[in-house]
Amino acid sequence: MQADQALVLDQVTKRYGDFTAVDALSFAVRTGEVFGFLGGNGAGKTTSLRMVLDIIRPTAGNISVLGRAPGRENAPFLGFLPEERGLYRTMSAIDTIVYFGRLKGMSAGDARTEGLALLDRFGLSANAKSTMDKLSKGMAQKVQLATAVVNSPRLLILDEPFSGLDPVNQGLLEDEIRNASATGATVVFSTHVMQHAERLCDRLLLLARGRKKFEGNLDEARALLPARLNVTARQQLDGLPGVADCSGGPDTGDGWRDYAVTLEPGATAGGLLEYCTTNGIALRRFEERRASLHDVFLHMVGSGEPAQ
């Protein structure tokens, strides 16, 4: 493992009987980056994260967390928001945060000071002494987030952190992730909602049926898709170099038509534009349509896997 890698999985497999939930998965998360762990339902995200946290053990392969094997001694440096949220119903919000801070080796005083500051930041100052069963689901989720970050973790792992949050609180969580990253923490979060990943991730991994489909940054992910263009021209572009498909809308009356053009893999919009210019093909509009991460997901994983 290199010094600039916060998390490394090397050929990690997890089997449940005959079923392989995670299949020879290898990837590395660099220190300080926000890393998206993406996949549809049942892809193996939670299973992978649980192995990192030593909640379950791999069937095969190696995991390195901040340079060490998974285990309890990593607790002071880690923050974890589990997918299954659950806190002691009769404990107050602040006591809950202090309890988790203590589990991670903080003093009660430090955990309380930091816990109160977090509740304030999350708009929950007035609820510090409310017991968990008196809080709304979203409020309880923010308290749980506070338990994950109270120790200013070097590696923050969030399993489906956006589920169950309203748009305002989703924004707050995005800010919290950016904030953790800005202060030097490494953040790994799983999601099946591509928009969050698109806004937040430095790099991402796409998982399907336990296998890695892609690891890289957003631009690299988008480059996996053939370029698509909106073009207004006087003639069909089918058959031009690099054009895989060109479908046209109605003639607007003066001979111009709008075309949706898909290029062949590896062909570039610039190459087609240059060809048109040098060959006297008149163009009134020539726009590249930027692929979304959702498009990439469907392209890589297929529409059988859910993504939003």
Ligand X SMILES: Nc1ncnc2c1ncn2[C@@H]1O[C@H](COP(=O)(O)OP(=O)(O)OP(=O)(O)O)[C@@H](O)[C@H]1O
Name the minimum Å distance from CB 28 to ligand X.
20
Name the minimum Å distance from CB 75 to ligand X.
22
SS3 call for 256? coil
Q: Contacts with ligand X in 183-222 (CB under 6 A)?
A: 192
Edge-first strand listing for the sheet containing 243-248: 243-248, 257-263, 228-233, 283-289
Name the minimum Å distance from CB 141 to ligand X.
16
Applying CB under 6 A, which part among 1-9, 14-22, 259-267, 282-290 lies near ligand X? 14-22
Q: For residue 20, give the amino acid letter.
A: T
Q: What is the full DSSP assignment across 34-82?
A: EEEEE--TTSSHHHHHHHHTTSS--SEEEEEETTB-SSGGGGGGEEEE-
Nearer to ligand X among residue 43 and residue 301 (C-beta): 43
Nearer to ligand X among residue 42 and residue 248 (C-beta): 42
Name the minimum Å distance from CB 53 to ligand X.
13
Q: Which of 36, 44, 115, 161 binds ligand X (CB under 6 A)?
A: 44
Q: Which of 9, 43, 94, 246 binds ligand X (CB under 6 A)?
A: 43
Q: Which of 9, 21, 38, 116 binds ligand X (CB under 6 A)?
A: 21
Residues in the chain: 308
Name the minimum Å distance from CB 145 to ligand X.
18
Total residues at the site for ligand X (CB under 6 A)? 13
Element (DSSP H or E) covering residue 120: helix 108-121
Does 269 bind ligand X (CB under 6 A)? Our answer is no
- Please give the Cα distance from 77 to 60 (Å, whole number): 25
Applying CB under 6 A, which part among 38-46, 146-154, 260-268, 288-296 lies near ligand X? 38-46
Does 144 bind ligand X (CB under 6 A)? Our answer is no
SS3 call for 115? helix
Q: For residue 67, give the amino acid letter.
A: G
State the DSSP code for 84: S
Q: What is the full DSSP assignment across 136-195?
A: -HHHHHHHHHHHHHTT--SEEEEESTTTT--HHHHHHHHHHHHHHHHTT-EEEEEES-HH
Does 42 bind ligand X (CB under 6 A)? Our answer is yes
Name the minimum Å distance from CB 40 to ligand X.
7
119, burial (CB in 10 Å: exposed 0-12, middle 13-18, buried 19+): buried
Q: Which residues lie near ligand X (CB under 6 A)?
A: 16, 19, 21, 39, 41-47, 83, 192
